[in-house]
Amino acid sequence: MLSGSSAIEVNDVAKAFRLPHHRRTTIKDHLLHPFERTTFERYVALDGVTFEVKAGEFFGIIGANGSGKSTLLKIIAGIYPPNRGSVRVEGLLSPFIELGVGFNPELSARDNVRINGTLLGLTGRELSRRFDDIIAFAELEHFVDQKLKNFSSGMQLRLAFSIAIQVDFQILVLDEVLAVGDQRFQEKCFATFERFREEEKTIVFVSHDLSAMGRFCDRMLLLERGNVRSYGDPAEVLAAYAVINAA
């Protein structure tokens, strides 16, 4: 049941990046203009984004490549500061945003779980208690002492996802979790989503898998070039996306 209170409030958020441009393109240019400097263009990745995620809802964010979805999640998770606007988050947030961030490829899975779990706020005792669950959910029992650099991308994804969901979060933020997982792992993720829904956790989920989005989301947001194009009822938001894609 939705309690009606808000878990995340995003108010008029804007974010721009500096895009470098080298004027010199050929070796001849370089020889003719050796001191010419790189110029920067201000690239607006998000502009005036406002929406609310209610406590206990499964909230989906969709949009084309480069439309600003990951940037928005990073701002919500506090990884990037916005240039303008504000974000309010109510409750402990567990981010699963970019594969490999926070992992050390030279260390074993075992050590990476310890380090990441600690960073996510698990105490030593909680970690020892949950370590086996993390490895079991990821189905990596055989590989626990292998260096992470020898893991496939799917194996890394399973480990990272498994760690993210072992934290006692109220809000889980997921960017493209399913992209490199195999079918069986995807089904397992879906099953955990059902469980989270029963536990009234708040989930913010970015994916290009529109059928999964339609299946799970209570409400959705469509980003188009950093702007909110559609927000609310999943069927309406998916229809708005179909219109963009048909254009």
* Positions that interact with ligand ATP (CB under 6 A): 17, 45, 63, 65-71
Kindly tell me the burial class for residue 149, based on how many C-beta atoms sit within 10 Å of its own C-beta (0-12, 13-18, 19 or more).
exposed
Nearer to Mg ion, 69 or 219 (CB): 69
Nearer to Mg ion, 66 or 105 (CB): 66
Residue 17, binding choice from ligand ATP, Mg ion, none, Cβ under 5 to 8 Å by partner class: ligand ATP
- Nearest approach, Cβ of residue 187 and Mg ion (Å): 23
Residue nearest Mg ion, CB atom distance: 70
Nearer to ligand ATP, 60 or 63 (CB): 63
Nearer to ligand ATP, 67 or 94 (CB): 67
What type of residue sits at position 171? I
d(CA 41, CA 20): 6
d(CA 134, CA 94): 15
Residue 158, binding choice from Mg ion, ligand ATP, none, Cβ under 5 to 8 Å by partner class: none
- Judge contact between 52 and 10, C-beta under 8 A: yes
- Nearest approach, Cβ of residue 64 and ligand ATP (Å): 7
Interface with Mg ion in residues 225-244 (CB under 5 A): none
Compute CA distances 198 → 49, 58, 125, whole Å: 29, 11, 27
Q: Which of 67, 70, 202, 230 binds Mg ion (CB under 5 A)?
A: 70
Nearer to Mg ion, 69 or 158 (CB): 69
H-helix or E-strand spanning residue 244:
helix 234-246
Closest by alpha carbon to 116, among 100, 92, 133, 138? 100
User: Using CB under 5 A as the criterion, which residues of the chain lie in contact with Mg ion when the complex forms?
Assistant: 69-70
